[in-house]
Chain A
């Protein structure tokens, strides 16, 4: 019950945040240099045509009126039109969101256990060669730019070794996309019973996911190493050791639970970072997700898709924060007791 009350109160707070985000998104994209009408029709067109195009796009109206129209449209579920693709932005997004989600979700699911395992191993055997190896990885992972890693991995594993597929999107040129159910090709191909396609999809996910994981996990490993180190040096762990409880249980059952809150917080942070990482990875791997959509729209001053993508990322971030805050209630008995 306490959880529900808290969740509702927390949910109410996201509304003003979203409104603020709308204001920022709209006026920031207004401030982007470039003329949308000019970009659309080209430089060689006479001024009357440009004015007509401007009027048809609503660009001759005062900015505040444009903003009001923008908010009204969003409330009606209309995110505008992309003149570049010629589609409604909602239509384009429906095609592209699953690609990004598939990439980010798989990375997330791999990154968390990967980072927790490395961090806990390094902290448990602090000072050993395995600790040093993990620390070296973490240092490199935080220092190497993602786009460089992505390009190097393509160079080595596709171009030189030929182990990886060409960086040309989610499926091969000869593959046919599975029937749309979830939009996630891994799941849809399995639902269609097409194992060969599933293999192809996983093969193509491999490099982008590995690159994203290696870079995202590095700061997480350092954080887990630190909080786990604090746990292992605390007196309640010494007391458990003094009680003759085996080391594996001391680490796995006594210490691990206490680092779950920072891990959860970091997970939320990571999901936001992944969206940033997705922009780079989608661009390098020609991945047809929303990040690449935003970049391509930006390059031709196609504002509606850009605004929509930023709005979606904002809403997504707010949703993640909401979920994490509520999840604290479930993980941490101290919070539960305080609320009861």
Chain B
């Protein structure tokens, strides 16, 4: 990128992408520790940009590599190849010590809120650990911040001495969200954050996510196989198939006319009252 491109026509800085993903690839070795391993390409040469304030939907069938991609973006998995520029720094090969400092800016919310909380840690401790280590808070300031985070996600501050097992799925997901927000991130990767929840609870969490995005000026990468959920939250939608990104479009474009057959079949698989099922599904139902 040359310097002339960095300066906008009116002399101000143009908006830089929060995340620039270039040719990211992940190859897993599968097989026993002594036996012959075979290679599985979970994510293949994926590239895209995400602008600040965007809600970027990542859809695809299970096994399409979308969760792996989500983890790669935050370096929770080591990419085999490619670049991941977070706010201008390539984190794909960054040493752990330097990476740790950047981690506060990007957080993740996981699919299964039962597995995502340490069973032996109270809510307070789950929130306090990252605050202590990353933001160096302690004593009264720490407690004030924990209280603020808990009420931010709509839980009562009196719940913080409880263990995860005492909460419902929706409440746990709120705790996970509070933990992700604790480090004041700009980017949050949401990996199917509602798919383990009851439908009524799903709507509450979606509303909370939309509100928090507005309030805190967040950028979302929203991974889901549920198009109705994606449609409520996301501005842009990327479609993954067998580890590759097959299409990136705006939401409106996606609903009106997806470019690929695969995306169209995903779109049409969402049941809607009053619309006949696509013929292939109708035949299966009959």
Contacts and interface: CB of A to CB of B under 8 A. Distances in A.
B14 interface: no
B106 to A, nearest CB: 8
Interface in B79-125: 96, 99-101, 103-104, 106-108, 110-112, 115-121
A302 to B, nearest CB: 49
A235 interface: yes
A243 B118 contact: no
Given A242-B103, A334-B119, A337-B163, A127 B33 contact: yes
Interface string A296-312: 00000000000000000
Contact of A241 (B76, B116, B118): B76
A236 B100 contact: no
A193 to B, nearest CB: 45
A246 interface: yes
Interface residues of B, number: 37
B34 A243 contact: no
The A interface is mostly helix, strand or loop, or mixed, namely helix
Contact of B120 (A240, A247, A334): A334
B130 to A, nearest CB: 4
A235 B165 CA distance: 16
A177 interface: no
A135 interface: yes
A247 B96 contact: yes
Interface of A: 127, 131-132, 135, 234-236, 238-247, 249, 254, 257-258, 332-334, 337
The B interface is mostly helix, strand or loop, or mixed, namely mixed
20 contacts: A135-B34, A234-B116, A235-B112, A236-B116, A239-B108, A240-B129, A241-B103, A242-B106, A243-B104, A243-B129, A243-B130, A243-B133, A244-B101, A244-B130, A244-B134, A246-B96, A246-B133, A333-B163, A334-B165, A337-B166
A132 B34 contact: yes
Interface in B36-56: none
A258 B33 CA distance: 25
B251 interface: no
Given A234-B115, A334-B163, A337-B163, A242 B120 contact: no
A61 B111 CA distance: 72
A258 B100 contact: no
A235 B110 contact: yes
Contact of A254 (B100, B103, B118, B163): B118
Interface string B54-76: 00000000000000000100101
Contacts of B29: 127
B229 interface: no
Contacts of A241: 76, 103
Closest 8 CB pairs of A and B: A243-B130, A244-B103, A235-B116, A235-B110, A244-B100, A236-B118, A235-B115, A242-B108
B107 A242 contact: yes
A125 to B, nearest CB: 12
A242 B71 CA distance: 10
A333 to B, nearest CB: 6
A257 B71 CA distance: 25
B264 to A, nearest CB: 33
Given A131-B33, A245-B133, 13 more contacts: A127-B33, A234-B115, A242-B106, A243-B130, A243-B134, A243-B183, A244-B103, A244-B133, A246-B133, A258-B118, A333-B163, A334-B120, A334-B165
Given A242-B108, A244-B101, A333-B163, A132 B33 contact: yes
B174 interface: no
B101 A258 contact: no
Interface string B232-271: 0000000000000000000000000000000000000000
Interface centre among A235, A241, A254 (most CB of B within 10 A): A235
A132 to B, nearest CB: 6
B153 interface: no
B176 interface: yes
Contacts of B180: 239
B26 interface: no
Contacts of A257: 120
A234 B165 CA distance: 16
A236 B115 contact: yes
B179 interface: yes
Nearest to A136: B34
Contacts of A258: 118-120
B129 A242 contact: no
A332 B121 CA distance: 11
A246 B163 contact: no
B51 to A, nearest CB: 22
Contacts of A127: 29, 33
A334 B122 CA distance: 10
B226 to A, nearest CB: 19
B119 A245 contact: no
